[in-house]
Amino acid sequence: MTAAAGVARSRVPLQTRPAMTTDTTPLRAAVRDVPDFPAPGIVFKDITPMLSDGALFKRTIDALTETVAESGVTKIVGIDARGFIFAAAVADRLGCGFVPVRKKGKLPWRTEGVSYDLEYGSNQIEIHADAIAPGERVWLVDDVLATGGTAAAAAGLIQRLGGDLAGMTFLIELGFLEGRKLLPARVPVEGVLIY
Ligand code: AMP
C-alpha cells in the first residue's frame, strides 16, 4: 500500500516496527485544507475536524500511540500549541510524563531556548532545563512536519539537556517540503499522514 492509502511511512527499517493496524483513511479524509492561511501561498492543514469528533480523535491518538508504543520512552515531548493536544494524549495512553516545549517567555522556571526559521516567519522556543534527565529516553510528537525547523529546534533542546531522543512522530508530514532532512540523523521519524 502507498502513503496515499493512509499508511504511515518511516525511515526505520520495516522489520523494527509492525505495520500500523489503525486505519488512517478516515483521518486523512478529515484534514481540511485552508488556502492562503496564515499567509498567501500557504495551504494550512486544519486538524480541528479530527479533534471535534470523538471517534476520530480517539483514532488519531491510536495511530500516534502505535508509533511510540514499543519504544520504552518515559517522556513525550510536545510543541506549543497544537502539538500539546496530541503529545499529552499519547503520554496519557502510555503512562509517560509530558514535557512542553513552549514559545519564548511562557515557561516560569529556568529554561534552555533556541531561535529558528519557520515556513512562514521565525520563532523562539524554550524547554524547562530540568524537564528531561540526562540519558532519559523521550519521544517527540507534533501535529505537522513542514520545513522541519520547529522539530529540529526542539530536538536540539532535548539533546542539549542530555535526553536520548528515541524518535519523532508527526500526525501530518508535508513530504514535499523535505523537513526530514533537517532532523537528526539516526532518529526514527514517523509520519502518520504523508502529503
Ligand atoms: P515547520 O517548522 O516548518 O516544520 O512547521 C512547524 C509548525 O508550523 C508545525 O508544527 C505546524 O504547527 C505549523 N505549520 C507549518 N506549516 C503548516 C501547514 N501547512 N499547515 C498547518 N500547520 C503548519
**Rounded (10°) angle between helices 54-68 and 82-94:** 70
CA of 172 to the centre of ligand 1 (A): 9
The residues with which 126 forms a beta bridge, in sequence order, are 102, 113
Q: Answer yes or no: is 104 within a domain.
A: yes
Does any domain span residue 31? Answer: no
Mean of all residue pLDDT scores within the chain: 92
Quick one: which of 7, 2, 29 has its CA closest to 18? Answer: 7
Return all residues near 185 (Cβ < 8 A) that are at least 6 apart. Answer: none
- Tens digits of per-residue pLDDT, 139-158? 999 999 999 999 999 999 99
CA 182 to chain centre: 14
Identity at 134, one-letter amino acid code: P
- The whole domain housing 166 covers 70-194
d(CA 72, CA 69): 7
Mutational pocket test of ligand 1: of 119, 142, 189, the residue with most ligand atoms within 8 Å of the beta carbon: 119
Residue 11 has pLDDT above 90, yes or no: no
5 pLDDT higher than 70: no
Q: Report pTM.
A: 0.92
Residue 156 included in any domain: yes
pLDDT for 120-146, tens place per residue? Answer: 678 999 999 999 999 999 999 999 999
Query: How many whole angstroms from 54 Cα to the centroid of ligand 1?
Result: 24
What CATH number does the domain containing 158 carry? 3.40.50.2020
147 inside domain:
yes
Number of domains in the chain: 1
- Res 19: pLDDT: 86
98 occurs within a structural domain: yes
